[in-house]
Amino acid sequence: MREDWQTLVAHDDKVMLEGVSLNAKGISLSLREGGLPIIEVRPQALPTYRVQLPDAAYSLYVQDTLEFDSDKIRLRYQSLNRPAQVRQLTLASGEQVVLKETPVLGTFDADAYVSQRLWATASDGTQVPISLVVKRELAGQATPLYLYGYGAYGESLDPWFSHARLSLLDRGVAFAIAHVRGGGELGEAWYRNGKQEHKQNTFGDFIACAEHLVAQGLTSAGQLVISGGSAGGLLIGAVLNQRPELFKAAIAEVPFVDVLNTMLDPDLPLTVTEYDEWGNPQEPEVYARIKAYAPYENVTAQAYPAMLVIAGYNDSRVQYWEAAKWVAKLRATKTDDNPLLLKTELGAGHGGMSGRYQGLRDVALEYAFIFKVLQIAE
């Protein structure tokens, strides 16, 4: 009977419940608050608490287990400065033990780097989270900075560890993620306020994050490199049109830059299924809305930063010609002499070349481009 029900987890507009894990000794709630995953533990007959973690920007989830009669759970954890770990948590005490950590070659020390959580203010007053990692000795100083963004489909960019990224950090380059609207980091409303008629919020949020990093003295326009892929490439293309002077260089991977023409062609593989995200431009008001931000449509005679554009010849999601025609229009229109490079991977699809070593070569190309533009020595 409904009158016998008990409320275990009350609704909270600021907290999203993503999952529940149960064993004989308690309940573990997987929450998302302030853009970060949180594990709240409710052990039997003991006070509720939240799991404490060593870093400010991280990924976290409860690992599935087949053992119900246990007083422990296992957590999967990683951060911008700490490789993936399996942590065992004792429910009653909250004590954690690291059972396994992904090894990193060389003399790696996670505490030689520091992760931070920052907040930028968008033009409409919305607070936008930023995750950042930098070499500890450079924290709070102006450094070259690599800013990454996506902001589509409700995807959450929880901070992740990268072995390759150490090459950037050790050369004094900070790395940051702009958790812009259109993603899912702050819940369903965060996603909905960055799609269709609200898509400009995604671009405005990213610009606000870049401006905040500059205003806080953490970087400068002459040191700021931005990057995004697929729908994140659309983000990069849009902000380059709107605020090109804010950035030193940009990397766009398999960029969805010809949004209008692609969404007008229902014979392409994903067009019809994408109407929910972008709208159907067969409708006049949607056509005008997409045209107002589409990167290809809005290339103008102005100076653009140095750019590296990467496409996949076999990409069925974002056709290779989108990047090619965008680059051609940029070359014919822009007023600067900054490098504008296009690489089309003839054996690649949307996810790039297959194979571990080829993936590392792709990262090496991007980093070489960054170091060249920023004039960072090998």
| Active site positions, annotated | 230, 315, 350
Q: Are 190 and 201 spatial neighbours (Cβ–Cβ below 8 Å)? A: no
Taking the C-alpha atoms of residue 62 and residue 320, their distance in angstroms, rounded to an integer, is 39
Indicate the burial class of 94 (C-beta count within 10 angstroms; 0-12, 13-18, 19 or more): middle
Structure tokens at 126: 């919305």
Helix (H) or strand (E) holding 181: none
Helix and strand tally (H, E) in the chain? 9, 16
**Phi, psi for 317 (deg, rounded to 5):** -90, -55
Helix (H) or strand (E) holding 371: helix 356-374
Structure tokens at 310: 């990467």
Indicate the burial class of 299 (C-beta count within 10 angstroms; 0-12, 13-18, 19 or more): buried
Taking the C-alpha atoms of residue 263 and residue 370, their distance in angstroms, rounded to an integer, is 32
In the block, residue with structure tokens 């070359």: 331
- Other CB atoms within 10 A of residue 183 CB: 26
Indicate the burial class of 217 (C-beta count within 10 angstroms; 0-12, 13-18, 19 or more): exposed
